[in-house]
């Protein structure tokens, strides 16, 4: 009887959370993400998304990418490695371009680097100064005014994700370009990641507790497009990695394909 009560309570919470999400998606916020006004007219941003490996854009950032493209912002993607840990760097780079085409990101605004000092791998730390230098060059060459990347845990905890964060943070702290606005993807606990709409609801509530628009929960209005983009990364969907793939599938549809939460760099 106790188990039945617990299951019923969880089901009610799940349904209530889903209803909250649906209501939120149709209720625009006054301080929506990057919604600042300039002289009464909407100002399009030039946004640089900095990732570590091909597939990061689809697995972790696709709700944000869908949002930015739908609002008319100009999005550039800088991938700091080819993801060559298993010798498939060329294949994975091509898959990134295919995924970006699905996400409607112009391919001339996508760059993949193959630097000997920035190679994919858990035991291959990246120099933060080098990351900062590369990102700064990209900011200058493309006239970027907004940058987005991982937070200090890197969502999955991958050391390359974390090094990207610290490189970008170093740039934002040291640069004389004080007009660059920085945002980071918020990592949540493993329990929340697999709680579906409950996590989305909690993320909405948590974001609303931060005044001044310093944190936003972005609901993914095009989950099928996100899945189609992830499907382009066929090299990561192999029989030998079935368990990992299944975990990523659950992870993707339980969190990243529903929403992402971003906050300003402190």
Residue 16: which pLDDT band, with cuts at 50, 70 and 90? very low
Mean pLDDT to the nearest integer, 144-155: 94
Question: Which residue, 142, 144, 156, 137, is CA-closest to 61?
Answer: 156
Q: Which residue(s) pair with 260 in the sheet?
A: 218
d(CA 197, CA 210): 20
For residue 125, the model assigns a pLDDT of 92
Q: Which residue has the higher pLDDT, 71 or 10?
A: 71
Assess whether pLDDT exceeds 80 at residue 210: no
For residue 116, the model assigns a pLDDT of 95
Q: What's the per-residue H, E or C state across the chain? A: CHHHHHHHHHHHHHHHHHHHHHHHHCCCCCCCCCCCEECCEECCCEEEEEECCCCHHHHCCHHHHHHHHHCCCEEEEEECCCCHHHCCHHHHHHHHHHHHHHCCCCHHHEEECCCCCCCCCCCCCCCHHHHHHHHHHHHHHHCCCEEEEECCCCCCCCHHHHHHHHHHHHHHHHCCCCCCEEEEECCCCHHHHCCCHHHHHHHHHHHHCCHHHCEEEEECCCHHHHHHHHHCCHHHCCHHHHHHHHHHHHHHHHHHCCEEEEEECC
For residue 206, the model assigns a pLDDT of 75
Phi, psi (deg, nearest 5) at residue 149: -160, -165
Assess whether pLDDT exceeds 90 at residue 221: no
The percent of residues above 90 in pLDDT, for the chain, comes to 47
What's the predicted TM-score (pTM) here? 0.82
What's the whole-number average pLDDT of the chain? 80
Assess whether pLDDT exceeds 80 at residue 127: yes
Q: Which residue has the higher pLDDT, 78 or 22?
A: 78
Assess whether pLDDT exceeds 80 at residue 122: yes
Phi, psi (deg, nearest 5) at residue 103: -80, 0
Residue 52: which pLDDT band, with cuts at 50, 70 and 90? very high
For residue 218, the model assigns a pLDDT of 85
């Amino acid at each position: 009887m106790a188990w039945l009560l617990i299951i019923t309570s969880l089901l009610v919470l799940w349904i209530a959370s889903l209803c909250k999400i649906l209501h939120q998606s149709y209720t625009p916020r006054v301080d929506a993400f990057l919604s600042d006004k300039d002289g009464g007219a909407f100002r399009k941003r030039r946004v640089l998304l900095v990732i570590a490996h091909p597939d990061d854009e689809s697995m972790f950032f696709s709700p944000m990418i869908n949002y930015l493209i739908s609002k008319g912002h100009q999005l550039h993607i800088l991938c700091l490695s080819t993801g060559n840990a298993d010798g498939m760097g060329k294949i994975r780079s091509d898959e990134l371009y295919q995924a970006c085409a699905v996400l409607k990101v112009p391919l001339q605004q996508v760059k993949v680097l193959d630097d000997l000092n920035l190679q994919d791998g858990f035991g291959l730390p990246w120099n933060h100064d080098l990351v900062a230098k590369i990102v700064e060059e990209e900011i200058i060459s493309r006239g970027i005014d907004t940058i987005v990347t991982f937070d200090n845990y890197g969502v999955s905890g991958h050391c390359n994700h974390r090094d990207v964060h610290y490189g970008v943070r170093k740039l934002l702290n040291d640069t004389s370009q004080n007009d660059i606005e920085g945002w980071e993807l918020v990592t949540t606990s493993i329990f929340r990641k697999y709680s579906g709409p409950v996590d989305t609801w909690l993320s909405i509530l948590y974001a609303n507790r931060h005044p001044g628009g310093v944190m936003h929960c972005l609901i993914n209005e095009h989950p099928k497009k996100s899945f189609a983009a992830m499907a382009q990364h066929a090299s990561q969907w192999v029989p030998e990695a079935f368990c990992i793939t299944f975990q990523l599938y659950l992870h993707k549809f339980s969190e990243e394909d529903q929403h992402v939460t971003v906050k300003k760099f402190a």
